Every structure is written in structure tokens, then in C-alpha cells.
Amino acid sequence: MTDTAPSDRAAPQHNVMLADLTTIRVGGPAHTLLRPTTEQELLASVHDVWQRGDEWLLIGGGSNMVISDEGFDGTVIHIATKGIHVTDQSDTTLSVRVQAGESWDGLVARLVARGWGGLEALSGIPGSVGAAPIQNIGAYGQEVASALTGIDFLDYDSGELVHLTTEELELGYRSSVIKSGRTGVVVAVHFTLTASPTSTVQYQQLATALGVNVGDNVPLQQIRDTVLALRASKAMVLDPNEPDSASCGSFFTNPIVPEHIARALPADAPRWVIDDDPVADVVVPLGETPAPPPPPKPRLVKLSAAWLIEHSGVHKGFRLPGSRAAVSTKHSLAIVNRTGADAAEIAELARYIGACVLSRYGIHLQPEPVSVGVELA
């Protein structure tokens, strides 16, 4: 990495309460906090932290984190970089490079307003652009992978700014190579969008709310408005006037299990086969004996974490005796901080929910938020 002047570094702050930077409003003080607002500041500040060997933690929008009440005894880098740069444009496509600190929903709103499709069903998701590819955020039939072309990534091992393609990111259901352990910092994200006044509805709940069929085309703005209304009905958008919005959003991912486990659940348990590849045809020359077919590949099925939670006895609005953490009154997948809960209470409730589902159905729930100094499962 090239040398940079001291003025390129973000100014350090001390003992900032991390609860103020997270949407669930828990987290103790940061020993040191840096808030880079330009890409140059981000690169220089991170490089300095790595050279010193400090313990470090990244925060973007803080929407998917539970930080302990003790805080973080190291350097927190709060990424606040801004900028959307058009890298290529034609009559049919638009390619953009977006700084990691941009608001995710702000980006989606701007694209939809200008008639660029590909991310409209991801409206209303809190957090920053840089966090989106790390867990391949998705909702209502879309994932960030559908429009992502790559990221600019400051690699911890080499100290270099590299470009990772979508293939190199190994995106899956709420996963990526970064979430799986490749260490570094997302600096900017590249997307390619499609010029179209409409988009295809790919999810039944969204289609029902729109009054159309799955596969129908609907104006982009109408999709965005309907998604926002659906999320608001579940308190899944940030709203200071909504007590249940002080959360991490969905706290657990939908479990993916072998088909035989899904079959053991009651008939009304929602499930979706996600691994149903057809067997490929095999060409055998005349006169040769075909090889025996491979054993059938076990099918994988995605289950509804919300259904599992509710049917294990944890209802909407549930809270443990004396606790200030609760399950949302509007969505059983969300744990909310309505009355000044601390991180220990959030974690206690998360572990309790997981234990109830495990005891009732033998299925482990995986917490979705990043945990810092606290055990969620």
C-alpha cells in the first residue's frame, strides 16, 4: 500500500458507546473509534491499525450486530464513506461503484427512482452497502448476488486493495467467502442494473400483496412501495416511532436441512426444496455397458425459522421473566430492545429461543447477527 500523509487518517475518538451505532441499541464503549469518511481515509486508517497490530472491529450501519455490554477494547472502524460512481452505462444497463458506507436503502431508492432494476425487492433493509455482499442479503425473491458484479476489498493478508468477482466471493444463502473467514475490509461494491420500468415478481407473499401472480411484471416503484409496506407491517424498517424496530431484523436464518428431517415436521410446516438438480443425461457408445448410476444426491430443504419458533412455544411478544428483551409483537424472527435491554438480556433470549426449537424439533437455529463478546447460541 502506498504511503499516505497523517492528514489522510480519520481522527480517533475514545469511549464512544457502541449502542449508539447499532440498531438494536446495545454495546459498551469502544476504546478507540475511527470514522473515515473518504476512501483514502479508510485505506490509510485501516492500514495503520493493522500495522500496529491492534484488535479491530468494523461497523457500517450497525444493523446486524450484537456487541457486549463491556464494549470493545480495541479500535472500532465505523465506515462512513460516501459516493456512487457510474463506471459504465448503455441504453440497457448501468454499472456503478458504490462506497461501502453508503446507506443500502438509500442506494435502492435512487436506483428505483431512475428506472434501474435488480435490487428493488431489497428495499427497506437497514445497514450499509459494504455489508450487503458479506452475507448476500436477500428478501422477497431477490438476493444482492442478482445484481452484484464484484467488490473492492482491502485484503488483510496482503495489505493490498484487490477486486473480487462474484465467483470469488462464493455467495450462498446468507454467506460469502468473507463471512466464512477471508479477512479484510469491503471498500466499495460494484453492481450492474437493468434499464426497465418493471421487474418480475418472484415471491408469493409479494405477489399476493401486489394482487398479481408470481412471474408477472410490475413497475419498480410499486414493488419498492409494497416491499416497504410489508416490512413496516413486521416492524422490519427503522422507525423511531415504532418500538419493535430496535432490533437486528431477522435474528435467525432459515435452517437448511436434509429432506428426511423436513419430512418429520408437521404437514403445515413451510418448506422449500433448494437442491433439486436434475440428473444429467449420459451418452453411452453402442456395445458398451453403461456404468451404474451414482447414488441419489440427498435433497436439501429450507425451513421457516419463524414457524419453528412459534410452534416451539415462543409466541410474538414473548419475554423471559424480568428481562427487557422481547420477541417482536409483529414478527417472531426479531428480537427487540423496547425498554433499555442490555446485550446480556438479548443473548439470553436468543439462547432460550434456540433451546426451545432444538428441544421440540431437534433443529439448531443459527443466529444471523455478528456477535462481539457475547454468546448468542
Cα maximum dimension of the chain: 78
Q: What is the pLDDT of residue 275?
A: 62
Domain count, the chain: 3
Amino acid in the structure at residue 133: P
* 96, 227: one domain: yes
CATH, residue 311: 3.90.78.10
Q: Extract the C-alpha cell encoding 320.
A: 423471559
Q: What is the pLDDT of residue 35?
A: 97
Q: What is the pLDDT of residue 288?
A: 78
Q: What is the pLDDT of residue 276?
A: 53
- What range does the domain containing 101 cover? 84-233
Count other Cβ atoms within 10 Å, centred on residue 259: 14
* 224, 249: one domain: no
* 25, 130: one domain: no
E strands in 239-369: 256-258, 271-273, 300-303, 325-327, 335-337
Domain presence at residue 238? no
* 97, 223: one domain: yes
Q: What is the pLDDT of residue 173?
A: 86
* 361, 264: one domain: yes
User: Which run of H or E residues covers position 230?
Assistant: helix 220-233
* 35, 104: one domain: no
* 218, 335: one domain: no
Q: What is the pLDDT of residue 6?
A: 52
Q: What is the pLDDT of residue 10?
A: 87
Domain presence at residue 141? yes
User: Angle between the 104-113 and 220-233 helix axes, to the nearest 10 degrees?
Assistant: 150
Which residue, 78, 105, 132, sits at the end of a domain? 78
CATH, residue 28: 3.30.43.10
Domain presence at residue 239? no
* 216, 333: one domain: no
Q: In residues, how long is the chain?
A: 377
* 208, 270: one domain: no
Domain presence at residue 276? yes
CATH, residue 107: 3.30.465.10
Which member of 102, 345, 348, 368 is catalytic? 368
Domain presence at residue 2? no
Which member of 68, 128, 250, 304 is catalytic? 250
Q: What is the pLDDT of residue 277?
A: 56
Domain presence at residue 221? yes
Which member of 174, 224, 271, 319 is catalytic? 174
Q: Extract the C-alpha cell encoding 26.
A: 446495545
Domain presence at residue 258? yes
The yes-or-no answer on residue 250 being catalytic is yes
From residue 72, alpha-carbon distances to 182, 235, 340, 361 in Å are 21, 29, 20, 36
Q: What is the pLDDT of residue 282?
A: 67
User: Which run of H or E residues covers position 162?
Assistant: strand 161-165
The yes-or-no answer on residue 368 being catalytic is yes
Q: What is the pLDDT of residue 254?
A: 94
97: left (phi over 0), alpha (psi -120 to 50) or beta: beta
* 214, 147: one domain: yes
* 219, 360: one domain: no
Q: What is the pLDDT of residue 1?
A: 43
Cut 0.85: pTM above it: yes
Rounded Cα–Cα distance for residues 53 and 237 (Å): 37
- List the chain residues with pLDDT less than 50: 1-4
Domain presence at residue 366? yes
* 95, 217: one domain: yes
Give buried/exposed letters for 57-82 (b at 16+ CB in 10 A, else e): bbbbbbbbbbbbbebbeebbbbbbbe
Q: What is the pLDDT of residue 235?
A: 85
